[in-house]
């Protein structure tokens, strides 16, 4: 669940009103804008859900992201917005886990040939992998 401090920070940020009115109406006015692409708008609700408005036109269906899709998106938004508090919403490493060998537990990978960083695809921005999954994927 986002803390009241995080919600206040997102509400006050310069990007808070970046989404057009029809998108804000579709996701609900209490949802905080956290980023997007040319064709999608991403939001965090006060109860911790990650919503996507997946189109540039009115009438699109709002989707909720779950699991690794949600953690990967939150990790990317934390980096791109400079709001590391978003990482507090990701689940902590369980006892039966190991630091992700691909990002070395940092959650992020540098993109080849681009001055840009993105969330690790392997751990989905968590920085750790469950040991049972790691054995299966080796």
- Residues of this chain that interact with Zn ion (CB under 5 A) are 100, 102-103, 120, 122-123
Residues in the chain, overall count: 138
Q: How far is the CB of 50 from Zn ion (least distance, A)?
A: 19
CB-nearer residue toward Zn ion: 29 or 137: 137
- Give the whole-angstrom CA distance, residue 43 versus residue 56: 15
CA proximity to 57, closest of 19, 18, 22: 22
Supply the minimum distance, in Å, between the C-beta of residue 6 and Zn ion.
23
Residue with Cβ nearer Zn ion (7 or 109): 109
User: Of 32 and 100, which has the nearer Cβ to Zn ion?
Assistant: 100
Tell me the closest approach of the beta carbon of residue 8 to Zn ion, in angstroms: 30
| Residue matched to tokens 């001055």 | 115
Q: Are 74 and 81 in contact (CB under 8 A)?
A: no
Q: Report the residue number, 7 or 93, with the smaller CB distance to Zn ion.
A: 93
Instruction: Between 6 and 97, name the residue whose CB sits nearer to Zn ion.
Output: 97
Burial (CB < 10 A; 0-12, 13-18, 19+), residue 29, is exposed
**Residue 103 Cβ, how far from Zn ion at the closest point, in Å?**
3
CA distance 117 to 109: 6
Q: What stretch of H or E contains 78?
A: helix 67-81
Minimum CB–partner distance for residue 57 and Zn ion (Å): 35
């Amino acid at each position: 669940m986002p803390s009241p401090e995080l919600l206040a920070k997102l509400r006050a940020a310069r990007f808070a009103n970046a989404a057009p009115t029809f998108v804000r109406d579709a996701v609900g006015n209490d949802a905080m804008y956290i980023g997007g692409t040319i064709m999608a708008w991403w939001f965090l609700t006060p109860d911790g859900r990650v919503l996507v408005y997946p189109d540039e036109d009115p009438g699109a269906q709002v989707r909720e992201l779950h699991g690794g899709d949600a953690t990967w998106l939150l990790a990317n938004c934390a980096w791109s917005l400079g709001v590391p508090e978003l990482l507090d919403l990701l689940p902590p490493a369980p006892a039966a886990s190991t630091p992700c060998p691909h990002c070395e537990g940092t959650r992020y990978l540098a993109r080849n040939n681009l001055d840009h960083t993105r969330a690790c695809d392997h751990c989905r921005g968590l920085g750790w992998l469950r040991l049972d999954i790691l054995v299966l994927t080796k």
